[in-house]
Structures are given as C-alpha cells and as structure tokens.
Amino acid sequence: MNERAFPEERMDQIQDLLQARGRVSVNQLVDRFGVSAVTIRSDLATLEHQGKLIRTHGGAMSKPDTGLEPAFALRQRICVAEKERIGRAAAALVQDGEAIALDASTTSWHVARQLKDRRELTVVTNCLQIALEFIDAPHITVVMPGGTLRAASASLVGLLGVDLLQRYYVQKAFFGARGFTLEEGLTDVNQHEVELKNSIVKRAKEVIAVVDATKWGQVAFASFAPLDQIDRVITDAAAPSEMVAALRQRNIQVTLV
C-alpha cells in the first residue's frame, strides 16, 4: 500500500499497473493506495481526459496503440458521461420533420439514442449501430448509403455511398472526429470515412461538431471539415478555453455541457 503517494505519483503508478495487467478495478486501486473510491474515480477520470486509459464499469483498461483505430464497441466505453451529455444537447437541436445526418462516430450514436421520440424524422447515416437504434422507431426513416463494410467503425464506406449522398440535402449534420484543431478543423483516421463525411458536409445546411475534450488539439490523417464549414461545436466543459474563445471569435457557436 502507498498511502502517502501524491496524486501525480498515484496516477503514474496506475498507468504502470495498466501497462502490466491490461485492466484494473476501482476496488483493487482502493486497496493498493489506501484512498477512497471517489478519489480513485477522480484519478481515472483525469487520466481518461488525458487520453491515457479507458474507463470501464468498475475500473479501467489500457488504451490501445494510438496508431490503430479502436473498434466501435471499444470506443463506446470511452468518455461515456461526456458523450451522453453532448448527445443530449445535440439531440435538443433536432426538430420533428427534419432530415439530419449522423456520422459513424460513437458520439453521434449517443445523439441517435436521444431521438427516438421524434416524428417524421429522416436520418441519413452510414453507421450500422446507429441504424439499429431506430429499428423500433417506425416513425423515423433511416437512409443508409451502400458500400463496403468497415468493421472498425461498424459502417459502410466507398464510392457507392458517396454517389448516393449527392441526391440528398439535410438540415443538420452531426460529426464526431478523431481530431479537432483551429488549423485543420475536423480530422479523421480513414480516407474512406473522410470522403463520405466531406460529401455530407457539402449537402448540409448546418454542420455541427460533437467532439469531447480529448479530441481538441489532436490531428488525424485527413480533414473533412475546415473551420469555415463548421457552424456549431458541442463539447464538454474540459475543452481548452483558449480554443473555445478562438472559435467564438470566428462566429462559431460553442456549447459546453
């Protein structure tokens, strides 16, 4: 037991344990460090915001190699509370009778989960998980562009989908991202996803970024929406204040949840 460890030392040791074991529980860490479960959960939340681990029910697991994109099911367990709040705030913008687009991100999946009570809503998405959310909502029409199955994002991608999207317009399009900066805008790791997202950006009246604070200041492989194409950003309160201020100076609405 290391009861006298400072918070920084304790969090370093938590990372060492994760590297060795792959996962740890809150109870294990409470016993090891002699602190409360509340303190351990706070440590895990801090480390998750820093992108150093993935919180799970009752503990945490090590983060996969950042050079590889985590599978959709794994990403669903990252920053869950933040994504749920972002999803609720984003869904509140959607009105009955609209046509919207949701990309194949787990944050957009949280948006989808809040939309089942809408009427005469049309949802354009290439994400299988999002489409399945509406399987018991017959009053919502789901349009899925075809293409090739991409397991990492549980989505359909390719030129077939891009061609189909040229036929449609949507009032609002919601996008997650692997990175978000002032210089590159919204970026993602896969060229096929980027091409599809870029097509939707061009057909949307309003482009809304739904990105938790861990994505801010990060740059992925390719940009699909520079700042001048983004109308609104919904994020959590940990987003860097200087970037938030810079966006607002450019007349981009920023909502912190």
Question: Contact at 8 Å (CB) between 53 and 45?
Answer: no
Residue 93: what pLDDT?
Answer: 98
Residue 2: what pLDDT?
Answer: 45
pLDDT along the chain (257 residues), means of 10: 70 86 88 92 87 83 63 80 96 98 97 97 96 95 91 86 86 96 95 93 97 92 96 95 97 98
Q: Where are the domains of the chain?
A: 7-63, 80-256
Q: Are strands 121-125 and 140-143 parallel, antiparallel or unpaired?
A: parallel
Architecture of domain 7-63: Orthogonal Bundle (1.10)
Domain 80-256, CATH: 3.40.50.1360
The amino acid at residue 214 is T
pTM, entire model:
0.76
Residue 1: what pLDDT?
Answer: 44
Question: Contact at 8 Å (CB) between 173 and 98?
Answer: no
